[in-house]
Structure 1
Amino acid sequence: MNEPLIYILLACYNGEKYIEKQLDSIVAQSYTNWVLLIRDDNSSDSTLEIIESFNEKDKRVRIIQDKIQSEVKGACQNFARLLDVAVLEEATFIMFADQDDYWFSDKIEKMISAIDKDLVPAMLYSDFLYADDNLKELPKNIQNIRETFSFPSFNSLIVQNTVYGCTMMINYALAQKCVMIPREAENHDYWIALVASGIGANIRHLEIPLMLYRQHGNNVSGNYHDHHYVSRFKRLFTNWEGLKKVECRRIKMLVAFLEQLNNELLPDNLKLLTGYLEELKGNKIAFVRYCVKNKIKRHSFMSTIVFYLVLINVSKRDTINKL
């Protein structure tokens, strides 16, 4: 076939309630030259049985098992193992699927038509629609909460990722730079976005919704409730310690990122990130001034203020001083 083989990576865990619908939507794609790699993180429900039933009917659905099956915990490292396999098999283009979403039938077709076909590192990401637990589209006012702006700058990615893995397609050249996702990574999609922006990959936003993003109580990321100002203030005042832990983990990810991609980053991005980590260890006012000067901010003014408040509180903690 002249059409490139698309690798779809799906990491799952206890997804029996939703995964069958997602698999149905992938099998029904108008673009048919794909292989779906699925890795189950030791589910205790019937998830694996559902996957095996699809594998029996369609050999494009492959179940990935490895020697460290019992050691890998969490969605990020589950996806990391799948990405390792895809790169080892020299996948030309790679997509990521969550177990609880639903793809429109032309998702792959539209994305493969739009992604840069050059050999330089490239990423394409699409829009999506929020849906309820039963895959019914949520009202327009909720859809408008979604950030639909262009891909965030490296300055913004230092503190926040707004591009979800389930909307991404990347090529082999970029995937090679992303492998060996460290355990410090917050999410696989955050890591990939950082790498893509940090090294100056060709990044495009396809402003078409190509999937339903199911909303329920167990979303790993991207729940629309998190974007409300009321929700942000509530988290600030009721979960202060939790917010500090999140930022400390993000800092650890950035340190690992700098160590791993040091020689790949664009000079300005290398200088920016190195300066950011250094300023974290110093004076709090100087740190905020550095962030403002270098436009290191989140997607909204209020989110940025909350971020500054949290970071200046943890900047003297042992986690920071050990950088």
Structure 2
Amino acid sequence: MKNILVSIIIPTYNRAHLIPETLDSVLKQSYTNWECLVIDDGSSDNTGEIVNSYCKKDQRFKYYHRPVNVTKGANACRNFGFEISKGEYVNWFDDDDVMLNSFIEEKVLNIRDKLNFVISTGYYVDGNLKNERLIPLKDKEGLFKEYVLWKSHILTPSVFFKRDFLLNKDLFNLKIYRGQETEFFSRLFFKTNKKNYKIVNTPTFLYRQHANTKTQRSQSFENKYLISQVYIALKNLERGILLNDTEIINKLIKGLVYFLFRSAQNNYVKTTYSIGFNLFKSIYKIKPIYAVKVYFVTIVLVIYGKESYKMESWLMNTGL
């Protein structure tokens, strides 16, 4: 086995009740040449005390506070962690998930010189790490397509990156508020040569799914989150058009129409117009009649300030 240094980067915020399970799982790794960087985003609980106890126990753990000049948020912490990491390979991880004992070893064993990254699967689990369900991971129709259509569920812990591949690339986009991981992976996977990555179907981690709380549901269509999701969808629509892939194009158009009506439903007039106008521009050359329908519906939504189920159904089901 290669004896490369692997950097595990974990952003954290007020997860004192969960992070010990995560750090214990790092400590139990069968592959031992690793460093684990925990980047604290400003916790107000006893996260620091817990992480420091691991640092004292094992010098491979390193604890950092997000610098005051670095934007708040998990993705800024991920970017900062990458900057200070030293590993030849890097794997971001979340502070509520758990590595199986062979998490690092399985990926290191599959490294080849020309590979830019290795992707592994894992299990979805509940808040108590029970009820395992295998995370879907396929690569029959191309990595980008499988990911954008969500046939392959590629998550933060899934991808083991060669450091050199990430150098001089934009990492997590801090200008968007939701879906930074989706934006990042979509951008990297687009037109990636199959020779430069490998899929490992051996489960290597437990991905904790928390209960869908009322607060989370109420935030789903906050304007800033909606704008972020629309930005990602429009970028991937552009990529689908470049690939001339009808399945990707139609899927993303439907997604954007859905966002259009949710925006109108929440009375985000400027966002509603922006979604409709940008969707119109994106598809006019390939679907001119449908593009005109989108623009007409957008004007109606903006002027009358109402969303209509019948109008949404008509736009969803005609012309694609």
Tell me the CA shift for residue 205 of structure 1. 1.6
Tell me the CA shift for residue 102 of structure 1. 1.4
Residue of structure 2 in register with 1:75 after alignment: 74
Residue of structure 1 in register with 2:208 after alignment: 214
Overall identity of the aligned pairs, in %: 22
Residue of structure 2 in register with 1:248 after alignment: 227
Distance change (3 Å), C-alpha of 1:320 and 1:8: farther
- Give SS of 2:136's match: coil
Q: Work out whether 1:92 is the aligned partner of 2:68.
A: no
Distance change (3 Å), C-alpha of 1:154 and 1:210: closer
- Partners of 1:188 and 1:114 lie apart in 2 by 27
Aligned length: 264
Task: State the TM-score, normalized to the length of structure 1.
Answer: 0.68
Per chain length, whose mean CA-contact separation is higher, i.e. which structure has more relative contact order (CA < 8 Å, sep 6+)? 1
- Partners of 1:132 and 1:6 lie apart in 2 by 28
Give deviations 1:27-49, integer Å, cap 9, x for gaps: 11110000011101101111111
2:228 maps to a residue whose letter is R
2:158 maps to a residue whose letter is T
- Partners of 2:255 and 2:240 lie apart in 1 by 19
Q: Which one of the candidate residues 262, 266, 273 is aligned to 2:239?
A: 273
Q: Work out whether 1:109 is the aligned partner of 2:105.
A: yes
Tell me the CA shift for residue 203 of structure 1. 2.5
Contact 1:157 1:194 in 2 (8 A): yes
2:190 maps to a residue whose letter is G
1:35 maps to a residue whose letter is E
- Give SS of 2:42's match: coil
Tell me the CA shift for residue 320 of structure 1. 6.7
Distance change (3 Å), C-alpha of 1:74 and 1:107: same
Contact 1:244 1:310 in 2 (8 A): no
Superposed CA RMSD in Å reads 3.8
- Give SS of 2:249's match: coil
5+ residue gaps, structure 2, are 264-270, 282-320
- Partners of 1:274 and 1:129 lie apart in 2 by 29
Distance change (3 Å), C-alpha of 1:243 and 1:173: same
Residue of structure 2 in register with 1:170 after alignment: 161
5+ residue gaps, structure 1, are 220-225, 227-234, 259-268, 277-289, 299-303
Distance change (3 Å), C-alpha of 1:80 and 1:217: farther
Tell me the CA shift for residue 241 of structure 1. 7.5
Give deviations 1:275-313, integer Å, cap 9, x for gaps: 68xxxxxxxxxxxxx997363355xxxxx6861532454
Tell me the CA shift for residue 7 of structure 1. 0.5
Tell me the CA shift for residue 169 of structure 1. 0.4
Tell me the CA shift for residue 115 of structure 1. 2.8
- Partners of 2:24 and 2:84 lie apart in 1 by 23
- Partners of 2:161 and 2:238 lie apart in 1 by 25
Contact 1:103 1:212 in 2 (8 A): yes
- Partners of 1:45 and 1:111 lie apart in 2 by 34
- Partners of 1:60 and 1:291 lie apart in 2 by 47
Residue of structure 2 in register with 1:301 after alignment: none
Task: State the TM-score, normalized to the length of structure 2.
Answer: 0.68
- Partners of 1:149 and 1:293 lie apart in 2 by 19
Instruction: State how 1:186-205 maps to structure 2 within 5 Å.
Output: 186-198=178-190, 200=192, 202-205=196-199
- Give SS of 2:113's match: coil
1:307 maps to a residue whose letter is G
